[in-house]
Amino acid sequence: MQGMINIKYPKSLANTLRLSSKEFESEIKRSALVKLFELGKVSSGVAAKVLGLSRVDFLELLAKYNVSIFSQYGLEDLNEDISNA
């Protein structure tokens, strides 16, 4: 089952960013999923799937938004990952 979110926005907003309506809608979707990942609300795998990307491509997208792939990891998690490597 899929859901849909409708957001009303003035066309001037997309024009300000020099994006077509379709490009603007894609940007909003990418931005939302990047932020949800950054907040630890969704995994990179889930975000990638929703966007139709590979996980690696999603991780590369995070760099374009200046979001660390480690943003949801605490120091203890990072040390545990290092010790398990």
Within a domain: 44: yes
Chain CA centroid to CA 4, Å: 17
Q: Which two tokens stand for residue 61?
A: 């997208």
Quick one: pLDDT at residue 1?
77
Within a domain: 4: no
**Do 81 and 71 contact (CB within 8 A), yes or no?**
no
pLDDT at position 71 over 70: no
**Do 40 and 30 contact (CB within 8 A), yes or no?**
no
What's the domain count of the chain? Answer: 1
Within a domain: 3: no
Within a domain: 6: no
Question: Residue 73 — pLDDT band, cuts 50, 70, 90?
Answer: low
Question: Percent of the chain beyond pLDDT 90?
Answer: 65
What is the identity of the amino acid at 17?
L
As a whole number, the mean pLDDT across the chain is 88
Range of the domain at 27: 11-84
Question: Residue 69 — pLDDT band, cuts 50, 70, 90?
Answer: confident
pLDDT at position 49 over 90: yes
Question: Percent of the chain beyond pLDDT 70?
Answer: 85
Widest CA span in the chain: 51
